[in-house]
Amino acid sequence: VGRCGALRIMLADQGQEWKEVVVDFPEWMKGTLKSTCVFGQLPKFQDGDLVLFQSNAILRHLGRKHDAYGKDGDEAALVDMMCDGVEDFRLKYVKMIYQEYDTGKDTYIKDLPNHLDKFEAVLAKNKTGFLVGNKSSFADYNLFDLLLNHLVLSSTCLDSFPSLKSFVEKMSARPKIKAFLDSEAYKKLPINGNGKQGFLR
């Protein structure tokens, strides 16, 4: 799932279809594909002739194309801000998963409220069920994906955050998202590359 979780959920919700090219690790280590990647990393995303790297650049591109980037320039700036906040949170999660799972997982879970409270406050203030304005943006899909990961890590972590809990419930219930989350394509993939925290269902 990793850094494609949010963009797959976004594509699904936007009624898009897409092709998956799966790269296995031995193949990657040969370096042929890697040398063609601008920063030597995946994911790689193609929209016709446009080739993109960096998961958040992909999200922003889809936000522009599918009207999921706020209603005007001011909202766009707030969507950017919220997505950057999700990215900061995702970096902490990824660090724990890949570097400190056995030793740091419990501390990480205890410390979660200090990160969750920021997003709880924004949702509670906005009251629309979205982070910015009154429609979904790429920042919402990004946060939703990250919260799903955290619920696998700690199924009760949102219990004292009613707006976040409601946000996850509402996003999960959107018909196209629900269908995607129920699909084999989604369920068969582990969240992270090192197998920590296993499958979502």
**Residue 22 Cβ, how far from a second copy at the closest point, in Å?**
22
**Residue 89 Cβ, how far from a second copy at the closest point, in Å?**
9
Which of these segments, 23-31, 32-40, 173-181, 184-192, binds a second copy (CB under 8 A)?
Answer: 32-40
Asked if 26 touches a second copy (CB under 8 A), the answer is: no
**22 vs 31: CA distance, rounded Å:** 15
* Separation in Å, CA 38 to CA 17, 25, 175: 25, 19, 36
Tokens of 193: 């590359």
**46 vs 30: CA distance, rounded Å:** 22
**Residue 39 Cβ, how far from a second copy at the closest point, in Å?**
5
- Footprint on residues 47-86 left by a second copy (CB under 8 A): 50, 52-54, 56-58, 60-61, 64-65, 73-74, 76-78, 80-81, 83-85
- Footprint on residues 82-141 left by a second copy (CB under 8 A): 83-85, 88, 91, 118, 121-122
Question: Taking a C-beta distance cutoff of 8 angstroms, is the pair 85, 143 a contact?
Answer: no
**117 vs 31: CA distance, rounded Å:** 41
Q: Considering beta carbons, is residue 77 or 185 the nearer one to a second copy?
A: 77
Question: Taking a C-beta distance cutoff of 8 angstroms, is the pair 176, 186 a contact?
Answer: no
Question: Taking a C-beta distance cutoff of 8 angstroms, is the pair 68, 62 a contact?
Answer: yes
**Residue 76 Cβ, how far from a second copy at the closest point, in Å?**
7
Report, in this order, helix, strand and coil percent for the chain, each rounded to 5: 60, 5, 35
Name the residues that contact a second copy, by CB under 8 A: 38-40, 50, 52-54, 56-58, 60-61, 64-65, 73-74, 76-78, 80-81, 83-85, 88, 91, 118, 121-122
